[in-house]
Amino acid sequence: MTESGWDIAMRRIDSEFDVPQFVASSLVRKIAANKFRLSTVDRSKFQKLPDEVIARIEQIVRESYLEAGEDVGGDILREHLWQQALRARRDMIASEELLTPTEFKKRIGVREKRLARLIEEGSVFGVDVDETEYFPALLADPSLNRKRLQTICRIIFPAEPMSRLGFLSSPRGSLGGRRPVEMLDDDVDFKSVRRIAAAWAAEWSRTIVKMYKGEHQREPSDVERLYTAMAEIDPRRPLWERASEALHSHGYEWPLGPYPEARIFTLFVEQQAVGDSTPIPEACVQILVVGELVRIRIVAAPGSTLNSQTIAAGKHKTFVDVAKQVIAHLLALSAGR
């Protein structure tokens, strides 16, 4: 008979700890019911058990339910991986691969205000461990070209901190198996690292352009989408530049055509970070084609002062062509051309 996660956990707790069965049973059920962590409220009920014992029992429960195949929705695996990552970060603190802010400032020779500025501009970055910020010792290594290292850090800013650290310190096939931090001194090498870093950073964010028939101020849920284009682009690039690239790069577009006629349609631009299921709305542009003219009305766009304008339609035949022309116009306008 196949053992349940509860059975496996109880057996393993009994083999490791001298804990009464009714206490162990209560712990297993409470931990399993709270995403495999003992809640703060319930922790007070087991005050006689040291923190390290509770932590070990939480680990046993996670692994037992995972082994029993009772990972409904993947919650156990996610928690298991999160705990593994947390333990790895704690080990990095112990080995001084991650430094306290005080030690990091001392090593790079800056004060609090300057450190805050470096963090804000992306030249250095911190890693959160147990709600405390630590800094990679790699960023303070005196043997590395710090100016160029900070340049690469600014390029890879869109990625989450541990991934940035992994990029800098891990061998990459695109760099001939070398680590980026090993390629900062030589001008040719550094140019290669910058190029690879920019491409890698773009993978952490995508710009999405969607179009719907009719005039809308919000993305409609009851209207079939006419067209979607998507591309992985650094989110720090200007809005209309990213929208234009999404429409022209052919990274992803659907449908492929032919396209129905749409004289009135609305274009939405969104930005979505990797791992985030909810895109961030950035712009809404209503477009009306009247004879030889295209009327544009921007309902919402960060930093835009344009409300409405009319441009020549040209010889464009499809609404996708018109959209590309409109975005090109807005891009030129934003650039002051």
- In tens, the pLDDT along 212-261 reads 999 998 999 899 899 999 988 888 888 999 999 999 886 678 887 778 77
Segments forming the whole domain that contains residue 114: 98-202
Peptide bond preceding 302 in cis form (omega within 30 of 0): no
Domain identity same for 209 and 330: yes
Domain identity same for 299 and 263: yes
Phi and psi at residue 75, to the nearest 5°: -65, -40
> Looking at residue 124, which CATH number applies to its domain?
1.10.1660
Domain identity same for 314 and 223: yes
Total number of domains in the chain: 3
CA separation for the pair 106, 86 (Å, rounded): 26
Query: Tens of pLDDT along 157-207?
Result: 888 898 899 999 988 888 998 999 999 999 999 999 999 998 888 878 889
Domain identity same for 220 and 268: yes
Does position 62 have pLDDT exceeding 90, yes or no? Answer: no
Domain identity same for 172 and 230: no
Residue that finishes a domain, picked among 30, 60, 93 = 93
Domain identity same for 146 and 209: no
**What is the per-residue pLDDT for 188?**
96
**What is the per-residue pLDDT for 314?**
72
The token duo for 285 is 């542009």
pTM above 0.85, yes or no: no
**What is the per-residue pLDDT for 101?**
95
